[in-house]
Amino acid sequence: MQQGNGQTDEAETAVRLRGVDKNFGDVEALKDLSFDVATGKFFVLFGPSSVGKTTTLRAIAGLEKINAGKIELNGRDVADAPIRGRGVAMVFQSFALYPHLSVADNFAYPLKESGLPAAEIKQRIGETVEMLSLSHRTGNLPSTLSGGEQQRVALGRALIQRPNILLLDEPLTNLDAKLRHDMRAELKRLHRQFGMTIIYATPDELEALSMGEDIAVMEEGHVVQQGSPDELYETPDNLYVAAKIGSPHMNLLDVSVNEDGDGLQTPFGPLETKRPQVSGDEAIVMGIRPSDIRLARDAEPHLNLKVQLVEPLGDITVVSVDVAGSSLRLVLPEAGALGVKPGHELPIVIPPERVHLFRKADGTVVSTAM
């Protein structure tokens, strides 16, 4: 059962980190890092470069020794345990294949190192190349393979070890857009097939939201929010998460609270909202998703805002309108955007119940009351 703050019941937890610190000289790569990964989950570590995603995976795998904290795998403290025996396999961004070994020998290498009998090694190689559609490439060297095939070999070399936990460090970064799409689908299929616990690190929001059942958003070496894609999208805990999750990204505007505290003063005028729980002079930021802004119906009260830019994206169109010199983006269905052109005025409605408020000083979410 999932508990608060990204914690799971002990028996259902495959990976647990508590208060993990890791320094490289004077650089703090991980700072008080804590999260749980439920057994069998497809778990995503999401955040831009240099937030500590790779260091986290390497610490779980035993490739980096942490300075403080606890790492548990299936209830066993492994912070000081050797790499072998953790039941963990890792796929690196660079693939890290042995260039002088054939596909079959790349698959066989970790099994030989583990002392498996030749007959079982042969059987596992056969099963793996069949599963990944590499049967016709078993004698090839990595340099003769396409990027997608090299990625499948790297994945197969991890899967062939039958790990309890699979760590994937930005594995699709070096692939083109179509291959990334195909490999995302392949990874989800393999996850369903094997039911193993997967921890997947990525800076790509689309990968995080489309693949992750549970996502931990990282900033400066620690997790700032953990939850399902829907939870992160609908109820971001802070300004950082609000700005990272959602495409197009959330509109963010500097606003202030009315003198009587029952609404907001915004660049487009007053907006009635639930009562923000802040002091009257505290600087706050209002967020509204582009998909939550809509066109006014009939004589409904609305704002008339001038169109700056129209971006057709197939079945939807992103429209940017002018708000006191800044842009506010909204998403319209293709049919609803017909005839919309720069310079036109659009009658739009901003639903107060869809507004998010954050403190500008520290980015924390502002609670509201009726």
Residue identified by tokens 């392949």 is 186
**Above 50 in pLDDT, residue 2?**
no
Average pLDDT over all residues of the chain: 89
pLDDT for res 1: 37
pLDDT digit string (tens) for 148-176?
888 889 888 888 888 899 999 998 887 78
Sign of CA dihedral 303, 326, 250, 334: positive
Q: What is the per-residue burial (b if ≥16 Cβ within 10 Å, else e) of 15-32?
A: bbbeebbbeeeeebbbbe
Q: How confident is the model at residue 3 (pLDDT cuts 50, 70, 90)?
A: very low
pLDDT for res 6: 57
- 318-339 average pLDDT score: 89
CA distance linking residue 106 with residue 73, whole number of Å: 27
pLDDT digit string (tens) for 209-268?
999 999 999 999 999 999 999 999 999 999 999 999 998 999 999 998 887 777 888 888
- 112-122 average pLDDT score: 91
Following DSSP, what letter does each residue of 94-160 receive, concatenated? T----TTS-HHHHHHHHHHHTT--HHHHHHHHHHHHHHTT-GGGTT--GGGS-HHHHHHHHHHHHHT
State percent of the chain over pLDDT 90.
58
Q: Which helix (H) or strand (E) holds 208?
A: helix 205-211
At a CB cut-off of 8 Å and minimum separation 6, what does 181 contact? Answer: none
**Above 80 in pLDDT, residue 133?**
yes
Question: 294 with 275: CB under 8 angstroms?
Answer: no
pLDDT for res 102: 94
**Above 60 in pLDDT, residue 11?**
no
CA distance linking residue 324 with residue 321, whole number of Å: 10
CA distance linking residue 275 with residue 288, whole number of Å: 17
The superfamily (CATH) of domain 4-242 is P-loop containing nucleotide triphosphate hydrolases (3.40.50.300)
Q: How confident is the model at residue 4 (pLDDT cuts 50, 70, 90)?
A: very low
pLDDT for res 9: 57
Token pair belonging to 328: 């506010």
* Domain residue extents for the chain: 4-242, 248-369
CB count, 10 Å around CB of 177?
Answer: 8
Q: Is the pTM value of this prediction over 0.75?
A: yes
- 26-45 average pLDDT score: 96
pLDDT digit string (tens) for 277-317?
777 678 899 999 999 999 988 878 888 999 999 999 989 99
**Above 90 in pLDDT, residue 197?**
yes
Q: How confident is the model at residue 29 (pLDDT cuts 50, 70, 90)?
A: very high
Token pair belonging to 147: 């990027």
pLDDT digit string (tens) for 335-359?
888 888 999 999 999 998 899 999 9
Instruction: Identify the CATH number of the domain defined by range 248-369.
Output: 2.40.50.100
